[in-house]
Structure 1
């Protein structure tokens, strides 16, 4: 079963294309995304992990480490990375993030990552397109799951991280379709008497038919 929001993502030892890792030691006090893909040398996965590699600098700028996982061997990952680099025209050097080998599916089962509707030639389930966003406290901050047939949008994952990191620092929440720099929302738990102190940039209340005044916007804090 997937891990619930707010639970500590468990430590584990894994083999990657870059060698063995101890997850919590690798994570340190950083944010991270752990994302699974169904299989190496497949078309949608190539577009996804290639795109993630292209955006690796954006994740790094946000202090987010990246690590992938599938039910393939470490050698398969190493061989496939050449295709990823060719697909997204990366300039040589070390691939920007490790990929965990989980050929026996131990980790995929533990982390709730298997897609029962997608099977390999031997009838074994493949990993779905799952994303865990993990905070510096090692707790799950967000969980997204796509089926094998639908590629993810890594720009949306960046937007999600922007929101998570913003609300971790400030007493605000983000509205629908929010992008970094847009106005944010004052939580309804904040009393009217505290608005001027907590939100010095001002608060604007959106009028609604109920007249309850709960939809309150403020400029995004720095």
Structure 2
């Protein structure tokens, strides 16, 4: 069965460019962004990995750990890192998992469970569905899932925006509207009565509809 938002992110052990990890131990107590690639030395993914390396400080200040995965061995990842630096000017500064037997890709439903062969015998096109982003909370539950086609580079500024929304809405009894960004007004949850809202939001709110109450972003 496919993974859904709210599921516990499956645990696994794997070799990475920074040593062997157990996934749950790696993300313990933190948010995590886990993003996957169909093959090393592919053009779009090369640009993505460099972009994420440049943005690592933005994830760090939000308490988010980064981890990548590609359907190739760790030894190939280490060689690929030089290409990424040559192209983007950034050194990969987070672990990249080797998944040459497709075990993690299958565990996370990124590739057909009957897919066969190892990294050496498979092309990027064979692994085309391995283009996912998972945001995982400190409770180890999946909060966000998105899959991109091979031809479209991922927008990691949008991933940061989603992290900001998830971290805010996890504790403040609000939701974020379309195109929200940090500092914009937010929506009081429909499950919060007006009486309860008066306690939570003493500065008041703007009622657009009985079910749609806008309030300045809480601190």
Normalized against structure 1, the TM-score is what? 0.89
Aligned to 2:99: 102
Aligned to 1:191: 193
Partners in 1 of 2:193 and 2:107 — Cα distance? 42
Aligned residues: 212
* Range 107-116 or range 120-129, more displaced: 120-129
Aligned to 2:179: 177
Partners in 2 of 1:216 and 1:136 — Cα distance? 29
> Residues 218 and 122 (structure 1 numbering): CA distance in 2 closer, same or farther, change over 3 Å?
closer
Partners in 1 of 2:125 and 2:83 — Cα distance? 26
Q: Give the match's secondary structure for 1:47.
A: helix
Q: Deviation at 1:123?
A: 7.5
Partners in 1 of 2:12 and 2:79 — Cα distance? 24
Counterpart mapping for 1:90-169 below 5 A: 90=90, 95-114=92-111, 120-121=122-123, 124-169=126-171
Aligned to 1:214: 211
Query: Does the CA-based 8 Å contact 1:71-1:126 persist in structure 2?
Result: no
* Divergent runs of 4+, >6 A: none
Q: Deviation at 1:195?
A: 2.1
Q: What is the CA deviation profile of residues 107-138 of structure 1, one whole-angstrom value per residue up to 9, with x for unaligned ones?
A: 1011011289xx94497434521011111111
Aligned to 2:89: 89
CA RMSD of aligned residues (A): 1.9
Counterpart mapping for 1:32-71 below 5 A: 32-71=32-71
* Range 12-21 or range 171-180, more displaced: 12-21
Normalized against structure 2, the TM-score is what? 0.91
Q: What is the CA deviation profile of residues 33-87 of structure 1, one whole-angstrom value per residue up to 9, with x for unaligned ones?
A: 1110121111100111111111011001100000011111101100001111222
Query: Does the CA-based 8 Å contact 2:39-2:127 persist in structure 1?
Result: no
Q: What is the CA deviation profile of residues 166-186 of structure 1, one whole-angstrom value per residue up to 9, with x for unaligned ones?
A: 001210000000001100001
Partners in 2 of 1:121 and 1:187 — Cα distance? 46
> Residues 158 and 123 (structure 1 numbering): CA distance in 2 closer, same or farther, change over 3 Å?
closer
Specify which of 199, 202, 205 is matched with residue 200 of structure 1. 202
Aligned to 2:9: 9
Unaligned runs of 5+ residues in structure 1 are 207-211
Q: Give the match's secondary structure for 2:67.
A: strand
Partners in 2 of 1:173 and 1:202 — Cα distance? 16
> Residues 97 and 189 (structure 1 numbering): CA distance in 2 closer, same or farther, change over 3 Å?
same
